[in-house]
Structure 1
Amino acid sequence: MPEPDPEFTRLPYRRLSEAALGRAVELGAEHADFRFERVRDASWRLRDARLTGAFDTVATGFAVRVLHQGVWGFAAGTEHTAEAAVAAVERAVAAAAAARPLTRARTEPAPEPVHRDRVWVSSYRVDPFALSPRERTALLAERSAALLAGAGVRHVDAALQAVRESKYYADTAGTSTVQQRVRVLPEFTAYRPDPRSGALVSLRTTAPSAGRGWEYLTGEGWDWDTELAALPDLLAEKAAAPSVTPGSYDLVIDPTNLWLTLHETVGHATELDRAIGHEAAFAGTSFATPDRLGELRYGSPAMHVTADRTAEHGLATVGFDDEGVAAQQWDLVREGMLTGFQVDRGTAARAGLPRSNGCAFAGGFDRAPLQRMPNVSLRPAPDGPDLDALLSRVRDGIYVVGDDSWSIDTRRQNFQFTGQRFHRIRDGRLAGQVRDAAYQSTTVDFWRSLEAVGGPGTYLLCGAFHCGKGQPVQVAPAGHGSPAALFRQVNVLNTTGANPR
């Protein structure tokens, strides 16, 4: 297992924490926590195998949060001195006092066991920041050049984002943790002219972002050579494909597409702060309200969705959340029924739950933690079919591969999703691509149309590298695993507008 970044472990976060938490106790805080972060975030972009842009930034700072007379106060700072930490606590207590007249009820966070002197590092082998900029650019350029040499390919875009997040947390209950996670987002997009209009048609790789290191770019966890070799022919087929005929189709949806539908229709809908109306200002609420727990038929009996902070290589995998809660796994939907929500310590207490399930995360050292999504995944059937067997059940349908655009309403009910590729299925076999397709439904109608999920061999862990929430907006990663899955009679639209009235 990799060790935490030595540049981080040399920083004086323990001394700052002791000063901050000691001052919080002196000022009468019922609870206080201290978080120190060093986040390195880098990105590279190439066009036709030539570097067009890059950045490499480091954000370092600390945050203090105090619960003072039942009200939260928050402050942050960048100076690595005990004096600065104490001053931040005093600002946080003042903020709590200012907010008290506007607060309807005291906050009582759900209890959490103490986790003392714990260290956790995510599962990766090669730190992407251990390579030189020249080495990172060279691999992207080599892959771009090989793709650009493909028949009919006119242009190639390549992009890579890498993040190393190092964090120390401590609170007045006695918990103290050091943790580090690494994640990468690689993409290659090929373009060729449409033979009819001359406009460029694009096709992007389906390799998911992952909680992995540089080894992911060299073939551990994804077969880049095979995907990039196949891309020019798939792009040529897409460019020449007919526009889809709108109608109702059976869909077999690949995990490279279904992860995003999970994210929008289940992940966001089962955030308890949304379900009780606390997130309405930014992105709406949820149709899946707490009073429907155990009663809402979310989908068919084949639908089993878990929330998980422990999945290896998951984008949302951690050892502990930003409230010192240990990572866990639990059910959100079981046999099609709504059985759980995502909660932090505050919403857990409001809901009468004995403990948070570890869903607090701050999008930076200068942001207060919000309730954020874990890895939300549709589980495969232990003895489920492979992809060919799922396709064989379809007489007339479409196989959907790769994510693209999406749209969903503020209650997470009505949605529309597109994809990278749409393959026609006729009599159980793939029969060429179609273009301009989008599938549209309501959340419960869609998931109730789920007939079968594939077996473990069809399962893939994907996810959202940048999920926005809150005001001011915060960004967090969220993982989503899925098998291939079969849905019956889903409405498919033509995105050019060629739809019957």
Structure 2
Amino acid sequence: MPELDPSFLDLPLERLTDAALSRAAELGCSYADLRVERIRGAGQEFRDLALESSSTSQTLGLAVRVLFEGVWGFASDIALTAEVATRLAERAVATARVAKPLTSEMVELADEPVHADARWVSAYEVNPFDVDEAEQQARMLALSETLLAAPGVTHTSAGVEYVLENKYFANLAGTSVRQQRVRTLPRLTAIRVGSSGFDTMRTLAPPAGRGWEYLTGTGWDFDAEVAQLPEILAEHVAAPSVEAGRYDLVIDPTNLFLTIHESIGHATELDRALGYEAAYAGTSFATFDQLGALHYGSPVMTVTGDRTVEHGLSTIGYDDEGVAAQEFDLIRDGTLVGYQLNRQMAAEKQLGRSNGCAFADGPGHIPMQRMPNVSLQPAPDGPSTSELVAGVERGIYVVGDKSWSIDMQRYNFQFTGQRFYRITDGRIVGQLKDVAYQATTTDFWRSMEAVGGPGTYLLGGAFNCGKGQPGQAAPVSHGCPSALFRGVNVLNTAAEGGI
């Protein structure tokens, strides 16, 4: 198991804490916290057998947040000195004083136990920053070479991104937490330029809370997938265009994770349901008055939020309010039963303890409610993907994510994908193309007849879920099994103008 980076632990964390929090207490703050964050990022991009770009970045800073007379104040800086930490506490209080006349209600926070001197490291084996860049490039170029050597592949595009995030949190109550997590995103695309135009096919490997071992065989077999990609691309090029209409869909987790993200993940953020994001990212059709009553989906639908699943992009030991990571239900047996919360919203709506969904993407931003890993649960004894396909007379098997569109209430949507396979009389009989499925959120999830078993389950996700003003990006995973949906409307994207 990796250990916390000593160079981060060597920062003057205790001195910064004492300076900021003692000053906040002297000024009369009912609550105060301090975060010190170091976020290292790196990435490489390749075209054919050449390195196009290589980049590294580092963000390092501290932030102080206070509750003064029931109003939030916040300040941050890049200088890690006790003098700066003291000034940040004073600036945060000054900010709260300015904001107080504009605030109609005093902020209260849900209770949370004290977590003193807690430490947490994510589940990875090899820190990518410990791997020589030449070795990293050689691995990506070898995979690209395999693709480019295959018949029908004109060009390749490849890239890898990885992040090492260290975070320290302390508050007036006595909680202090040191954490470290790693995440990696590899991707390879085969490109064909021919008489039919420009066609692509990308790897399905999701981003993951893993280290460099992800590229060398732990968690995903990139060599096997890359070897199959040219044949899949050739089948796609030759495939007929879909006839628009209603079809039964068997949706693979490599596609369904994104539908979960957009139609469930964002819709069950309580700040959206309460209208906090209305001016920027929209609201949610799943309003608070429907908690416990909204028939979100079919009885086979249970969706959890959690910050604990191994290798999840949103997995963490403690959130940015010092709340310990948890797993909780959002939808149970098709009914909306919960929301994603931070401590303020949990107290405001008298929902008990926060479920640990506060996050800031760096020291320069204030924490807000952000998505945990939101996942559709498999049936314990559920069918395999092939068994789901066997139950379909006329349908489509959807694999891989691509483009999507959804309205500001997370209700009307359409999604495309990477690969589409025609199902006839329970058998896959070849690829289709130009497919998009369209529905409202509740009609779609209510049409879900069956979910696959644990053997079909996969953790997908994204590095860059956006939210807030100023905008913040957060990594998040979504697990799900294969699932069967009956009578879903399918559009022909070519006929619709290239959706």
- TM-score under structure 2 length normalisation: 0.99
Sequence identity of aligned pairs in percent?
Answer: 61
1:14 and 1:37 map into 2 onto residues whose CA distance is 14
Q: Which amino acid aligns with 1:274?
A: R
Q: Post-superposition shift, 1:498?
A: 5.2
Matched, 1:280 2:278: yes
Q: Post-superposition shift, 1:132?
A: 1.3
2:245 and 2:6 map into 1 onto residues whose CA distance is 58
CA spacing shift, 1:194–1:384, aligned 2, 3 Å? farther
Matched, 1:21 2:21: yes
1:132 and 1:154 map into 2 onto residues whose CA distance is 30
Q: Post-superposition shift, 1:4?
A: 1.0
- Alignment match, 2:92: 92
1:90 and 1:181 map into 2 onto residues whose CA distance is 31
2:383 and 2:193 map into 1 onto residues whose CA distance is 38
Q: 1:403 aligns with which of 367, 387, 401?
A: 401
1:44 and 1:6 map into 2 onto residues whose CA distance is 26
Instruction: Give 1:14-53 correspondences, 5 Å limit.
Output: 14-53=14-53
1:158 and 1:179 map into 2 onto residues whose CA distance is 31
Secondary structure (helix, strand or coil) at the match of 1:403 reads coil
Q: Which amino acid aligns with 1:115?
A: H
2:220 and 2:91 map into 1 onto residues whose CA distance is 48
2:161 and 2:20 map into 1 onto residues whose CA distance is 34
Instruction: Give 1:170-249 correspondences, 5 Å limit.
Output: 170-195=170-195, 197=196, 199-249=197-247
1:86 and 1:51 map into 2 onto residues whose CA distance is 46
- Alignment match, 1:363: 361
- Alignment match, 1:324: 322
Q: Post-superposition shift, 1:49?
A: 2.0
Instruction: Give 1:287-366 correspondences, 5 Å limit.
Output: 287-366=285-364
2:151 and 2:381 map into 1 onto residues whose CA distance is 40
Per-residue CA deviations over 1:224-268 (Å, capped at 9, x if unaligned) read 121111100000000111111110000000000000000000000
2:215 and 2:109 map into 1 onto residues whose CA distance is 42
- Alignment match, 1:120: 120
Q: Which amino acid aligns with 2:407?
A: D
Q: Post-superposition shift, 1:133?
A: 1.2
Consecutive aligned runs of 4 or more in structure 1 exceeding 3 Å deviation: none
Secondary structure (helix, strand or coil) at the match of 1:283 reads coil
Per-residue CA deviations over 1:199-240 (Å, capped at 9, x if unaligned) read 210000000000001111101001112111110000000011
Residue 126 of structure 1 contacts residue 214 of structure 1 at CA under 8 Å; is this kept in 2?
A: yes
Matched, 1:381 2:374: no
- Alignment match, 1:110: 110
Q: Which amino acid aligns with 2:469?
A: Q
Matched, 1:426 2:424: yes
Residue 118 of structure 1 contacts residue 178 of structure 1 at CA under 8 Å; is this kept in 2?
A: yes
Secondary structure (helix, strand or coil) at the match of 1:384 reads coil
Secondary structure (helix, strand or coil) at the match of 1:349 reads helix
Secondary structure (helix, strand or coil) at the match of 2:286 reads coil
Q: Which amino acid aligns with 1:277?
A: G
Instruction: Give 1:247-258 correspondences, 5 Å limit.
Output: 247-258=245-256
Q: Post-superposition shift, 1:329?
A: 0.4
Per-residue CA deviations over 1:132-170 (Å, capped at 9, x if unaligned) read 111111110111011111111001101111001000000
Q: Alignment length, in residue pairs?
A: 497
Per-residue CA deviations over 1:99-131 (Å, capped at 9, x if unaligned) read 000000000111110000000000000001101
Per-residue CA deviations over 1:41-96 (Å, capped at 9, x if unaligned) read 11110000210011111110000001000000000011111001111111100000
Q: Which amino acid aligns with 1:47?
A: R
Q: Post-superposition shift, 1:497?
A: 2.3
Q: Post-superposition shift, 1:336?
A: 0.4
- Alignment match, 1:147: 147
1:280 and 1:311 map into 2 onto residues whose CA distance is 31
Secondary structure (helix, strand or coil) at the match of 2:416 reads strand
- TM-score under structure 1 length normalisation: 0.98
2:459 and 2:171 map into 1 onto residues whose CA distance is 33
Secondary structure (helix, strand or coil) at the match of 1:404 reads coil
Q: Post-superposition shift, 1:370?
A: 0.7
Secondary structure (helix, strand or coil) at the match of 1:479 reads strand
1:236 and 1:41 map into 2 onto residues whose CA distance is 35
Instruction: Give 1:417-456 correspondences, 5 Å limit.
Output: 417-456=415-454
Secondary structure (helix, strand or coil) at the match of 2:218 reads coil
Q: Post-superposition shift, 1:194?
A: 4.3
Residue 194 of structure 1 contacts residue 239 of structure 1 at CA under 8 Å; is this kept in 2?
A: no
1:110 and 1:497 map into 2 onto residues whose CA distance is 52
| Alignment gaps of 5+ in structure 2 | none
- Alignment match, 1:81: 81
Secondary structure (helix, strand or coil) at the match of 2:258 reads helix
Residue 31 of structure 1 contacts residue 68 of structure 1 at CA under 8 Å; is this kept in 2?
A: yes
Q: Which amino acid aligns with 1:67?
A: L
Q: Which amino acid aligns with 1:463?
A: G
2:223 and 2:429 map into 1 onto residues whose CA distance is 25
Instruction: Give 1:156-175 correspondences, 5 Å limit.
Output: 156-175=156-175
- Alignment match, 2:264: 266
Secondary structure (helix, strand or coil) at the match of 1:280 reads coil
Per-residue CA deviations over 1:448-494 (Å, capped at 9, x if unaligned) read 00000000000001112110000110000111000000000100101
Q: Which amino acid aligns with 1:192?
A: R
Q: Post-superposition shift, 1:6?
A: 1.8
1:147 and 1:288 map into 2 onto residues whose CA distance is 45
Give me the CA root mean square deviation.
Answer: 0.9
2:428 and 2:128 map into 1 onto residues whose CA distance is 38
Q: Post-superposition shift, 1:413?
A: 0.5
Q: Which amino acid aligns with 2:424?
A: R
Secondary structure (helix, strand or coil) at the match of 1:259 reads helix
Residue 304 of structure 1 contacts residue 379 of structure 1 at CA under 8 Å; is this kept in 2?
A: yes
Q: Which amino acid aligns with 2:10?
A: R
Per-residue CA deviations over 1:162-197 (Å, capped at 9, x if unaligned) read 0010000000000000001100011000011244x3
Residue 194 of structure 1 contacts residue 240 of structure 1 at CA under 8 Å; is this kept in 2?
A: no
Secondary structure (helix, strand or coil) at the match of 1:419 reads coil
